[in-house]
Amino acid sequence: MTRFGTAPRSGDHRLERARQIGAALHRWMVSFLFESTKQAWRDPLLISIPSGRFVVLDFETTGLSPAQGARVIEVSAREVVDGRAGDEFLTFVDPGVRVPAEITQITGITTAMLSGAPSSAAAMCQLTSFIGSSPIVCHNAGFDRRFYEFEASAFLCGKQVRAFCTLLLARRIFPGRRSYRLGGLIDEMGIASPGRLHRASADTFVTAHLFDRICADARSRCRAEHFDHDVLHRLQRIRIAEAHGWLAALGSPAPSSRGKPGSLGRGMPNSTSLN
| Residues recognised as catalytic | 198
Q: Which of 229, 231, 198 is nearest to 73 (CA)?
A: 198
DSSP state of 236: T
CA distance 17 to 23: 10
CA dihedral 48, 53, 54, 59 (to 10 degrees): 140
- What's the rounded Cα separation, in Å, for the pair 56 and 88? 9
Measured distance between the N- and C-terminal CA atoms of the chain, rounded to whole angstroms: 59
Length of the chain: 275
φ, ψ of residue 165 to 5 degrees: the values are -110, 115
